[in-house]
Structure 1
Amino acid sequence: MRIAARDLAIGHGRVAIGSGLSLDLGPDEIVCLLGPNGCGKTTLFRTLLGLLPRLGGRLTLDGHDIARLSRRQVARSVAYVPQAHTPPFPFDALDVVLMGRTARIGAFAQPSAADRGMALQALDALGIADLAGRDYARLSGGQRQLVLIARALAQEAPLIVMDEPTASLDFGNRLAVLDRIAALARPGAGRGVILSTHDPDQALALGARVLALSGGRIVAAGPADTVLTAERLTAIYGVPLTVERTASGRRVCLPALQSSAATIT
């Protein structure tokens, strides 16, 4: 299963905010979309999901024009993990995960025992089976984000779109969520993940393929180690940045401080 965009134009109504966008996502890979606020990341994701019509170009799902597919067909192939989610009614975490089964059983059908088993399995895969009976609205931010990822797993979609999945999380929860994301797209898992983030370090840590978005266009694409240079990041974010190598060999992005004695790469 692959989703591919070629020369895609995106926007709201007739107002274009991005054009000339080309990307593809298949199984066993992670793609990180990087860029400043307002560059079109969320609009691009909503277009990939078929929630917004494209304004130009091509967008296909396994070679089929996504505009010609039903919402159920798209939902069986692509799952969505939003930045935040507040249900209108109180739900247990298990109920939220069961919502991911809608694409498989229909909007008004009752979940079967097998569906509940699938939801519990998704929670267990993320190490949060103990949250099944807890009030979702009373969970911590990190726990809610993991529940939303479990909902995507229960959907059984081979492709997962995540819109800033670590936004507003504390340091520990960010690490926990990133660890689960890495596991989702491990070799042989058969899943592909595309996520947006404001943190270049996350792309470096995940060893992801990067799409750098600025001014509504993709200005660079390729492996994180190649794309995320100090010069490019400084141009994208408009502030002086360095990319330095730690004693362990990892590359990290830091503000360009005059007192820094580390080697800039």
Structure 2
Amino acid sequence: MMLEARELAIGYGSTEVGRGLNLDAGGGEILCLLGPNGCGKTTLFRTLLGLLPALSGAVLLGGKPISAQSRAEIARRIAYVPQAHAPPFPFEALEVVLMGRTARLGAFGQPGRQDRDIALTAMNRLGIADLVQRDYSRLSGGQRQLVLIARALAQEAPLIVMDEPTASLDFGNQAQVLAQITSLAQDEAKDGRGVILSTHDPDQAFALNAQVLLMKDGTSHAHGPAKDVLTGANLSAVYGIPVSVENTTSGRKVCLPKLEAQSAPTMTSDALTIA
């Protein structure tokens, strides 16, 4: 299953947020969206999921325009992990994970034993089996994020879109989630799932050996393998600060911003004059 964007313009109504965007992600591939706040990543996500209409260009899912597919068809092909989620009722964590089975059951279907087993397997895979009967609304932000990822796994979609999946996780859980993302893409039993995720940490793209779409002001600044795209020059241009990319003794690449306080502009007496 392939998700593609071709010369995509994104936005809300007549307000354009981004333009000229091209990407593709399929089974066994990881694509990281990187860029500063306000560059259009969330709007791009919503357009890729069919929640917002493209202003121009096209989003193709399995070779067909996503706009021509029903929500049920899309849900069977793409699972979505939001950055945050506030439940309207105090569901148990297992009940939240079971919601991922809705796309497979239909509007009035009820989850059976097999669905419960799939949900429990997803929770076990993420190391959160002990949360099965816990009140989801009372879990920590990091625990809720892991439950949402388990829900996406239970959906059994060939593509997973994740909006900053490690944003609320501690160091150990971040490493666990990144390991699971790699495992999903390398899963030989199902030919690997495609994963598209946004992150504010370019080091994660290196760790995942991912393809990268580096965005600035709603456009693609660079697109390709992390090792080619995440250069000091590109990162400095996009984030507006000096950045160097260095190799660790283990062979990993890391991005190091220059930590230098920015001086506030000096205000002259002329600037205070009111015309």
TM-score band by shorter chain is: over 0.9
User: CA RMSD for the aligned pairs?
Assistant: 1.3
Residue of structure 2 equivalent to 1:15: 15
1:158 maps to a residue whose letter is P
Instruction: Give runs of aligned pairs for residues 175-186 of structure 1, distance below 5 A.
Output: 175-186=175-186
In the TM superposition, what whole-angstrom CA distance separates every residue of 1:229-264 from its partner, at most 9, and x where no partner exists?
011100000111111111111110112269xxxxxx
Q: CA deviation at 1:81?
A: 0.2
2:154 maps to a residue whose letter is A
Instruction: Give runs of aligned pairs for residues 95-114 of structure 1, distance below 5 A.
Output: 95-114=95-114
Q: Say whether residues 1:123 and 2:123 are aligned partners.
A: yes
Query: What is the DSSP-based 3-state SS (H/G/I as helix, E as strand, rest coil) of the residue aligned with 2:58?
Result: strand
Q: Say whether residues 1:235 and 2:212 are aligned partners.
A: no
Residue of structure 2 equivalent to 1:75: 75
Q: Say whether residues 1:25 and 2:34 are aligned partners.
A: no
The correspondence for 1:219, drawn from 218, 221, 227, is 221
Equivalent residues of 2:245, 2:253 under 8 A apart: yes
In the TM superposition, what whole-angstrom CA distance separates every residue of 1:37-92 from its partner, at most 9, and x where no partner exists?
00110110111110111110011111111101000000000010000111010011
Residue of structure 2 equivalent to 1:172: 172
2:78 maps to a residue whose letter is V
Query: What is the DSSP-based 3-state SS (H/G/I as helix, E as strand, rest coil) of the residue aligned with 2:228?
Result: helix
Give identity over the alignment, percent.
Answer: 67
Whole-Å separation in 2 of the counterparts to 1:216 and 1:48: 14
Equivalent residues of 2:145, 2:168 under 8 A apart: no
Q: CA deviation at 1:122?
A: 1.3
Equivalent residues of 1:145, 1:177 under 8 A apart: no
Q: CA deviation at 1:169?
A: 2.5
Q: CA deviation at 1:187?
A: 5.0
Unaligned 5+ segments in structure 2 are 261-275
The correspondence for 1:196, drawn from 195, 198, 208, is 198
Whole-Å separation in 2 of the counterparts to 1:178 and 1:105: 29
Equivalent residues of 2:35, 2:216 under 8 A apart: yes
How many residues matched? 258
Whole-Å separation in 2 of the counterparts to 1:55 and 1:93: 38
Equivalent residues of 1:142, 1:174 under 8 A apart: no
Whole-Å separation in 2 of the counterparts to 1:123 and 1:172: 17
Whole-Å separation in 2 of the counterparts to 1:248 and 1:104: 44
Query: What is the DSSP-based 3-state SS (H/G/I as helix, E as strand, rest coil) of the residue aligned with 2:222?
Result: strand
Comparing 184-193 and 12-21, the one that deviates more: 184-193
Residue of structure 2 equivalent to 1:247: 249
Whole-Å separation in 2 of the counterparts to 1:195 and 1:171: 18
Q: CA deviation at 1:15?
A: 0.8
Query: What is the DSSP-based 3-state SS (H/G/I as helix, E as strand, rest coil) of the residue aligned with 1:76?
Result: helix
Query: What is the DSSP-based 3-state SS (H/G/I as helix, E as strand, rest coil) of the residue aligned with 2:16?
Result: strand
1:210 maps to a residue whose letter is V
Residue of structure 1 equivalent to 2:270: none
TM-score, normalization: structure 1? 0.94
In the TM superposition, what whole-angstrom CA distance separates every residue of 1:153-191 from its partner, at most 9, and x where no partner exists?
111100000001111322222222212222111152420
Query: What is the DSSP-based 3-state SS (H/G/I as helix, E as strand, rest coil) of the residue aligned with 1:239?
Result: coil
In the TM superposition, what whole-angstrom CA distance separates every residue of 1:192-211 from its partner, at most 9, and x where no partner exists?
00000011001011111111
Unaligned 5+ segments in structure 1 are 259-265
2:64 maps to a residue whose letter is H
Question: Bigger radius of gyration, 1 or 2?
Answer: 2
The change in CA–CA distance for 1:14 and 1:118 in structure 2 (over 3 A counts) is: same
Equivalent residues of 1:182, 1:206 under 8 A apart: yes
Residue of structure 1 equivalent to 2:267: none
Residue of structure 2 equivalent to 1:256: 258
